[in-house]
Amino acid sequence: MQTAYSQLILQAHPDLYWILNEPTGASTAIDSSGNALNGTYLSGSASSIVGPLTSGETAAFFNGSSHISNASITGRNITADSFSLEAWVKCGTAVALVGLIDDVTGDTLDLIVDSIGRVRLNQNGGTAALGSSALNSAVYTHIALVVSSGTPYIYKNGVDITISINPVTGIAITSMFAGLDKFTLSEGFTGDMSNLAVYNSILSPATILAHYNAAFSDYYLGTLNISGVWKNGYVGVNGVNLSDHAREIALDTLVVELPSNTHGDKGERPINGLTSWVINVSFFQDFAAGKVDDTLRSLYGCGAVPFSIEVGCDGFNGVSLINPRYSGQAILDEYKTLEGAHGTNLGTTAKFVVASGLTRRTF
């Protein structure tokens, strides 16, 4: 079953996409790209563990003496001087992430974490690119590698952190390995990995950032529409935390699609127009001072003066990389004081229209 995150990855047309959510004991890493480039768990089988996505999808655990191989990507025509890859990892230092090789010439390209925790790209054992900051071994990190016309760039959590660059030559990539350094033939990856994708194309910085951000929501991502529902979420209205009364929080984002076709175009070429954000919250009603009705009634019909609102997917834990909050200024567009049948807990619904966009924070 596709998650919202995997739908977004597939929209970027990966040539190989290992979600790595196989159950413990599986021997095959399934390719979800549609190109049937399945991998094989070697020196052991899959071992599932909690993954990085809020959807609850599992990840693969590597014990330091196992890896995944695929030796049949020749037909994808991927060359080392023009391609992209990305993955979520949680690991320590001095480990191999992804190994790529030209089986004809023996040339290798390896993405590793060095002895002080920095992501490094090596070609035939020599440094081609180096990231500026170390990974936090306690949390998942989104890593992306882009090589454009021979110039490599390393991204960490959606941000370009490259500080050292040497050109990458255009070897033909015919085999790929997860958790194996092909130059040293060292496995040594102890940690977790999820959603490894390889592209015969250049991912833009905006796409990489979107892929990173998408991991922290349960949004459904359509072509130009984003919506999501949080059952145990956080909601703060005008500085009042009402999370303990929130039954359901729904965030809807709609981007108007504008045509930009010109004479000679053979297909649609839309661009993004105005964006609107709407937050619908279903509450258990409470008429006590400082609670739901007291907070919302004072804001309804107040002459459309915006007030602060903040929502998030997890109302029980603090703000973090895996539990971001979205905040902005809104007006209370609709408020139903009471809802519910006789004999049930009384509820209420409120519709907030965000005035000028939402800001995402992770601390």
Residue 165 bridge partners (DSSP): 129
- At 20 the pLDDT is 93
Q: Do 206 and 277 have their domain in common?
A: no
Examine the domain organization and report whether 198 and 280 are in the same domain: no
Q: For residue 248, list its beta bridge partners.
A: 282
Residue 231, pLDDT above cutoff 90: no
> Is there a single domain that holds both residue 188 and residue 228?
no
Report the candidate in 122, 137, 129 with the shortest Cα–Cα distance to residue 160.
129
Q: What is the mean pLDDT of the chain?
A: 83
Please check the confidence at residue 85 and state whether its pLDDT lies above 90: yes
**Other CB atoms within 10 A of residue 163 CB:** 12
Residue 185 to residues 37, 83, 243, Cα–Cα distance (Å): 22, 23, 51
Count other Cβ atoms within 10 Å, centred on residue 173. Answer: 25
- What count of other Cβ atoms lies within 10 Å of the Cβ of residue 228? 19
Same domain, yes or no: 42 and 61: yes
pLDDT interval class at 69 (50, 70, 90): confident
Final residue before a domain boundary, out of 214, 235, 250: 214
CATH code of 244's domain: 2.40.30
Categorize the per-residue pLDDT at 226 as very low, low, confident or very high, splitting at 50, 70 and 90. Answer: very low
Nearest to 277 by CA among 298, 242, 306: 306
Dihedral sign (CA 270, 272, 276, 280): positive
Comparison of pLDDT for 317 and 33, the residue scoring more: 33
Q: Same domain for 106 and 236? A: no
CB neighbour burial string for 78-103, b if at least 16 within 10 angstroms, e if fewer = bbbbbbbbbbbbbbeeebbbbbbbbe
Q: In the prediction, which pLDDT does 33 show? A: 93
Residue identified by tokens 């960490």 is 156
Sheet arrangement for strand 118-123 = 28-29, 39-42, 67-70, 175-178, 95-101, 108-113, 118-123, 126-134, 162-165
Q: Which residues contact 332 (CB under 8 A, 6 or more apart)?
A: 296, 299, 300, 302, 307, 350, 351, 352
Last residue of a domain, one of 214, 237, 264: 214
Q: For residue 273, give its domain range.
A: 220-361
Q: What is the mean pLDDT of residues 210-214?
A: 83
Backbone phi and psi for residue 4, each to the nearest 5 degrees, phi listed first: -60, -40
Instruction: For residues 193 and 269, state if they share a domain.
Output: no
Top-confidence residue, 264 or 80: 80
pLDDT tens per residue across span 86-113: 999 999 898 899 998 998 899 999 999 9
C-alpha distances in Å from residue 16, one per residue of 19, 194, 226, 309, 317: 10, 13, 25, 40, 35
- Same-domain check for residues 206 and 250: no
User: For residue 169, how many other CB atoms are within 10 A of its CB?
Assistant: 13
Residue 10 near residue 17, CB atoms below 8 Å: yes
Residue 110's pLDDT is 94
Would you say 255 and 225 are in contact if contact means Cβ atoms under 8 Å apart? yes
Whether residue 335 contacts residue 350, with contact meaning beta carbons closer than 8 Å, is answered with: yes
**Whether 53 and 150 share a structural domain:** yes
269 and 181 within one domain: no
- Closest Cα to residue 358, out of 316, 318, 330? 330
| Residue 237, CA distances (Å) to 228, 249, 298, 316 in order | 19, 13, 11, 17
Distance between CA atoms of 3 and 55, rounded to whole angstroms? 7
| Gap between the Cα atoms of 193 and 22, Å rounded | 12
Do 251 and 141 lie in one domain? The reply is no
Q: How many CB atoms lie under 10 A from the CB of residue 352? A: 27
Bigger pLDDT: 226 or 159? 159
SS3 11: helix
Instruction: Write down the pLDDT at residue 248.
Output: 87
Please give the Cα distance from 357 to 295 (Å, whole number).
22
First to last CA, the chain: 32
| Helix H or strand E segment including 294 | helix 292-297
How many domains does the structure of the chain reveal?
A: 2
Q: Measured between alpha carbons, how far is 81 from 6 in angstroms, rounded to an integer? A: 26
Do 248 and 164 reside in the same domain of the chain?
A: no
Q: Which of 214, 242, 268 is the last residue of a domain?
A: 214
Domain at 115, CATH number: 2.60.120.200
Per-residue confidence at 28, pLDDT binned at 50, 70, 90? very high
Q: Do residue 324 and residue 357 come from a single domain?
A: yes
